[in-house]
């Protein structure tokens, strides 16, 4: 059985060559196409980052206008998709709805699924980036029992999303620009993160030449887990469970106890053995949002800050290099923006879609690309003869 290298969790196996995202986990550095995430989050807008991830360069003004126009004019989804939503039980988890509806896009958009045609690949990419906010907002509206709100193309990507989520037919809704900017920043921070589990899933699914919309649905399924995108929801539920600052030490002890499966949600990362650079920006954005909304003495934020303080000074966490990750502060921010916890991972999926597509596109365009087909170390029974059921 010594024929293959066994690398559980692929901690030391590169599955591809990529020019999109660079991470130095020890230094806490994250670059997209060479640009530091801090600069992109501070100065860029989300569609600019999408363009950068997809095409490798920041767009010129003309390229940007053209890209914005094309994305904006693909935001509507086929009217029949409404019925797809309403087929789900009203209490379905929005991520379950997302897996189904995004997968179903493969049944609606046949004219962008010939992956050998660069034009069709481009149209499929634009469609997914453009329609994901619409689908995510519809999942939200269905979840809270309100009518779907159609996209408004004069708004920015993030503002349009907030509009589709929070506008109601009976009253005026104006998007708060500070909150729209925070939403935009959250999208930028989640846009790509090299070969994480869901991105690897998309690449693996796509390596067989599968339908691109179906590949993204596979990525969404993978992202749902609490060890991955589901951590933001789990982190906020944990803060709720802790409840008061004085109970933090009890949870710190539980996290350290090897016989207790409990982990501090929003802490630790496979690659970052330093502060996740995205978590720093997320923390700042969190304070901006709470400030704008006039939320003071937020119990969850108090617990979060104290938890972070203790974890950063505790032997166990220092030794294991467990720092807060992006999911730690995104939950509090999203809650303040008005989203229920069940929507958090949906927002992660929305933002990560561009990363999935950029990575999928890079793979399809890579001449050395092969179907992803890992080998195994067989540890089962050796050959034996079939025994008739009466004799077993
Ligand atoms: N709380 C307590 N102990 C932890 C934690 C934690 N959050 N994370 C890791 N450890 C310990 C773990 O018990 C292990 O100890 P030992 O070496 O004594 O067995 C050691 O640290 C290494 O952990 P690991 O599970 O082998 O590391 P990994 O690279 O396989 O896992 C992780 C990375 C993110 C899954 C893990 O840190 C974790 O479960 N964190 C909590 C969930 C979370 O916040 N996930 C979000 C990840 S970031 C963005 C995203 O993907 O969404």
Question: Which two three-digit tokens encode residue 365?
Answer: 């365009």
Q: 35-36 and 21-24 as β-strands: parallel, antiparallel, unpaired?
A: unpaired
pLDDT at 1 over 70: no
**Residue 330 CA: distances (Å) to CA of 81, 85, 184, 283, 294:** 30, 27, 12, 8, 18
With a 6 A CB cut-off, is 222 part of the ligand 1 pocket?
Answer: no
With a 6 A CB cut-off, is 64 part of the ligand 1 pocket?
Answer: no
- Please give the Cα distance from 195 to 11 (Å, whole number): 11
With a 6 A CB cut-off, is 321 part of the ligand 1 pocket?
Answer: no
- Please give the Cα distance from 33 to 36 (Å, whole number): 9
Active-site option among 45, 68, 276, 327 = 327
Note the pLDDT tens digit of each residue in 254-308.
Answer: 999 999 999 999 899 988 888 889 999 998 999 899 899 998 877 888 898 899 8
With a 6 A CB cut-off, is 331 part of the ligand 1 pocket?
Answer: no
* Main-chain dihedrals φ then ψ at residue 23, nearest 5 degrees: -125, 130
Question: Which residue, judged by its Cα, is nearest atom 22 of ligand 1?
Answer: 320
With a 6 A CB cut-off, is 271 part of the ligand 1 pocket?
Answer: no
pLDDT confidence tier of residue 332, bands split at 50, 70 and 90: confident
Give every CB contact of residue 25 below 8 A, 6+ residues apart in sequence: 269, 271, 272, 273, 274
With a 6 A CB cut-off, is 231 part of the ligand 1 pocket?
Answer: yes
- Please give the Cα distance from 115 to 125 (Å, whole number): 11
Output the CA torsion sign for 335, 338, 344, 348: negative
Best mutation site among 265, 268, 327 for ligand 1 pocket (most ligand atoms within 8 Å of CB)? 268
**261: CA distance to ligand 1 center in Å?**
11
Closest ligand 1 atom to 270 CA = 29
**267: CA distance to ligand 1 center in Å?**
7
24 in active site: no
73 in active site: no
- Please give the Cα distance from 60 to 374 (Å, whole number): 41
How confident is the prediction for the chain on average, in pLDDT?
93
- Please give the Cα distance from 17 to 23 (Å, whole number): 14
> Can you give the three-state secondary structure of 67-133, one letter per residue?
HHHHHHCCCCCCCCHHHHHHCCCCCCCHHHHHHHHHHHHHHHCHHHCCCCCHHHHHHHHHHHHHHHH
With a 6 A CB cut-off, is 322 part of the ligand 1 pocket?
Answer: yes
Question: Which two three-digit tokens encode residue 279?
Answer: 């978590």
| Interaxial angle between packed helices 248-256 and 299-313, expressed in degrees from 0 to 180 and rounded to the nearest 10 | 50
Output the CA torsion sign for 208, 14, 226, 326: negative
**78: CA distance to ligand 1 center in Å?**
41
Note the pLDDT tens digit of each residue in 225-234.
Answer: 988 888 888 8
**268: CA distance to ligand 1 center in Å?**
5
Per-residue model confidence (pLDDT) at position 274? 86
Question: Which residue, judged by its Cα, is nearest atom 44 of ligand 1?
Answer: 266
Note the pLDDT tens digit of each residue in 125-159.
Answer: 999 999 999 999 999 999 999 999 999 999 999 99
- Please give the Cα distance from 155 to 46 (Å, whole number): 13
Question: Which two three-digit tokens encode residue 318?
Answer: 């220092």
- Please give the Cα distance from 205 to 212 (Å, whole number): 9
Give every CB contact of residue 310 below 8 A, 6+ residues apart in sequence: 248, 249, 252
Active-site option among 45, 74, 269, 276 = 269
List residues bridging with 30 in a β-sheet: 23
Per-residue model confidence (pLDDT) at position 111? 83
Question: Which residue, judged by its Cα, is nearest atom 9 of ligand 1?
Answer: 268
pLDDT at 334 over 90: yes
- Please give the Cα distance from 341 to 232 (Å, whole number): 8
**359: CA distance to ligand 1 center in Å?**
25
* CA nearest neighbour of 322 among 310, 332, 333, 334: 310
pLDDT confidence tier of residue 245, bands split at 50, 70 and 90: very high
Are 65 and 48 spatial neighbours (Cβ–Cβ below 8 Å)? no
Per-residue model confidence (pLDDT) at position 2? 60
With a 6 A CB cut-off, is 265 part of the ligand 1 pocket?
Answer: yes
- Please give the Cα distance from 366 to 217 (Å, whole number): 22
Per-residue model confidence (pLDDT) at position 249? 93
Per-residue model confidence (pLDDT) at position 23? 96
With a 6 A CB cut-off, is 269 part of the ligand 1 pocket?
Answer: yes
Which pTM does this prediction carry? 0.92
Question: Which residue, judged by its Cα, is nearest atom 30 of ligand 1?
Answer: 270
């Amino acid at each position: 059985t010594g024929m293959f290298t066994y690398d559980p969790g692929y901690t030391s196996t590169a599955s591809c060559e990529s020019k999109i995202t660079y991470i130095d986990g020890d230094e806490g550095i994250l670059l997209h196409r060479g640009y530091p995430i801090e600069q992109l989050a501070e100065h860029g807008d989300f569609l600019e980052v999408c363009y950068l991830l997809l095409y490798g360069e920041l767009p010129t003004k003309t390229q940007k206008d053209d890209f914005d126009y094309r994305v904006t004019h693909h935001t509507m989804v086929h009217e029949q998709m409404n019925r797809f939503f309403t087929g789900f039980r009203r209490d379905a988890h929005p991520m379950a709805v997302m897996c189904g509806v995004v997968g179903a896009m493969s049944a609606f958009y046949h004219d962008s699924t010939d992956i050998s045609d660069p034009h069709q690949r481009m149209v499929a990419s634009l469609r997914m980036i453009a329609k994901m906010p619409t689908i995510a907002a519809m999942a939200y509206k269905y979840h809270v029992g309100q009518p779907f709100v159609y996209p408004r193309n004069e708004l920015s990507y993030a503002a349009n999303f907030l509009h589709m989520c929070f506008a109601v037919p009976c009253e005026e809704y104006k998007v708060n620009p500070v909150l729209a900017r925070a939403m935009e920043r959250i999208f930028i921070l989640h846009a790509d993160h090299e070969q994480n589990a869901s991105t690897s899933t998309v690449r693996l699914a796509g390596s067989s030449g599968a339908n691109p919309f179906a590949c993204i649905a596979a990525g969404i399924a993978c992202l749902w887990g609490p060890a991955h995108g589901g951590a933001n929801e789990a982190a906020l539920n944990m803060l709720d469970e802790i409840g008061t600052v004085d109970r933090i030490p009890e949870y710190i002890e539980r996290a350290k106890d090897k016989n207790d499966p409990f982990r501090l949600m929003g802490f630790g990362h496979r690659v970052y053995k330093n502060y996740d650079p995205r978590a720093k920006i997320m923390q700042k954005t969190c304070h901006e949002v709470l400030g704008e909304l006039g939320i003071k003495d937020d119990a969850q934020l108090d617990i979060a800050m104290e938890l972070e303080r203790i974890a950063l000074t505790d032997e166990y966490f220092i030794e294991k290099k467990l720092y807060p990750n992006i999911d730690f502060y995104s939950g509090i921010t999203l809650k303040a923006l008005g989203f229920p916890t069940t929507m958090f991972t949906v927002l992660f999926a929305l933002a990560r879609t561009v990363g999935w597509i950029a990575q999928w596109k890079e793979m399809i365009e890579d001449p050395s690309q092969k179907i992803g087909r890992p080998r195994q170390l067989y540890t089962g029974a050796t050959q034996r003869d079939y025994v008739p059921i009466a004799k077993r």
